[in-house]
Amino acid sequence: MDGRPNMGEQPLGTSIPGTTAAKITASAGELNVPAGWHVQTRRRRGYLLLAQRVGGCLVAAGAVLAAFLMEHGWPDALQVGRSGPAAMLDLLVETLLSPEFRPYLTLLLIAPLLQLVTAQWLRLYAVSRTHIVPFGAMGRIVRCAALITAALYVLGLAYRPEGANSEASFTNLYFIYLAMALFFGMLLVRSALLIGVVALQLFDIGRTRVAILGQDKSAKELVSLFSKPSSEYKLSGIIACGDENAPEVAGAKSLGTVAELDRIINESDLDELIIAADLGSLSVEQRQNVAQTCWQMAVDLRMVAPFYPSFHTEARTEYVGSVCLLNVARTGLYAQWPQTIKRAMDIAVSLAALVALSPLMLITAIAVKLDSPGPIIFRQKRVGLNGRVFNFLKFRSMRHNNDPTIHKQYIESLIKSKQAAAVDKDGKPIYKIADDPRVTRFGRFIRKFSIDELPQLFNVLRGEMSLVGPRPPVPYEVEQYEDWHYKRLLIRPGITGMWQVGGRSRLSYDEMIRLDVQYIENWSLWLDIQILFKTVPVVLRIGDSY
């Protein structure tokens, strides 16, 4: 909600200076971006995580059904002559439609959701063969089954379906069967997944692409382990800590230096980086830069103990052969769990907002149509998550088919020259176009209160935007970016953000970038809620909108 012209509301940057890289051409549908910006979707990992989530949901729903059948005499339901898939399908349909199962339908719907949340919280979703091993995660599987059962048990105590006779609705025996079914179901799915992953890796499909940064004695052992045909890892090579390329280690080729890490990640399509260097070979600043680059580019980072991170993060130990590694967890919005929570809130709040604001949106649509000729909704190409271009929606507030030259010149001046677009009556700088001649009469009104931004709730529902985040730039703005500006494209753009509640048009471009960096690295659900609540009085402050 920024009130900037339709041909390019000023988006924010999200970055820390220091990344340098030449530009390369991205895939179709994306812009030219720096080599330091990993734009891949990580399809292999995505499919693996999707398989685990779908399998977990099916297990949870199946456990609710299986526990019911066990309690109500499942062995008697399958008589001789009624075996096979057809009989199982008949039994499933009969059970779901039976009056006896009706009270359990609530559990059937809620159990998969509980499984998704609990498994994510307990870190049961894994992308490497080491982490998928069922017996290695036995404790977490037990806890997951116990927590889901406990939550459903509490629900069962509170829920009394209409027409059911009280205490007999859900028995203790049922929940014992449920816990058993959940445990063995999750164990079975994890075992099947492991077998599938191992089978694919035997054909060199889905192996984790890894590079080693440094050349201490543990690096040689890791090279030896990763070079085995049975390894789940595919070694890309060695990266030098200094300014000169590293010599080959046990046949592993040199990929370049740490200063070229962004290029190496892109060219080698790395999934993981392991730091195996002497304590003095990388400074604290270099370690921070390596971690930042890996998090930006969706690359897992591990360090050979005792090579500690020297920055704020979470680290867990794991052995590969006899080498002890620290798994360095991503922080802020780079981590998966915060992204999941944020997306869930986006969907819930945007749906509620669309329902509540639908009368206002209808009135606005009619007024826009009556005020000036042209479409009601203004559609514009904007750059979103990972550089993907999407159709950005707003109520039209400008004359149709206007010339974008004014805004292009403004963007170039703002980014390159860092000049304010105007000054107010008190002589203070304004970093946006004031009194834009292209804006219609009614357009000025809806901009003052950010009503023109409401259609972006549909962008949020479609996953192109978030409620809170940097504003999405127009393509010609991205063309003006310095290398360190591109980091802002690594999260979903938002309708509102730190800039909107922290100064809006009074802030320079660099100040906007600093606010977004602060937001990304210190994200919390409470921070998003605070920004959303602070946005309301800000958009009502007429003097700050143009």
In the chain, domain spans: 43-202, 208-331, 336-544
Query: What is d(CA 177, CA 182) in angstroms, rounded to the nearest whole number?
Result: 9
Average pLDDT over residues 436-441: 78
What tokens appear for 52 in the block? 């685990």
Q: Please give the C-alpha separations between residue 285 and each of 30, 205, 241, 280, 478, in angstroms, as whole numbers.
A: 32, 36, 13, 12, 28
Residues with Cβ within 8 Å of 246's Cβ and at least 6 positions away in sequence, in order, are 215, 238, 239, 240, 254
Question: So what's the pLDDT on residue 283?
Answer: 79
Do 444 and 450 contact (CB within 8 A), yes or no? no
Least confident of 150-159, 205-214, 337-346, 397-406: 397-406
What tokens appear for 36 in the block? 């330091």
What tokens appear for 254 in the block? 């040199």
Question: So what's the pLDDT on residue 542?
Answer: 53
pLDDT digits 0-9 by tens, 349-379: 999 999 999 999 999 999 999 988 889 999 9
Is 3.40.50.720 the CATH classification of the domain at 208-331?
yes
pLDDT digits 0-9 by tens, 89-105: 777 777 788 888 888 88
Question: So what's the pLDDT on residue 409?
Answer: 73
pTM higher than 0.85 for the full model? no
Average pLDDT over residues 386-395: 89
Query: What is d(CA 198, CA 203) in angstroms, rounded to the nearest whole number?
Result: 9
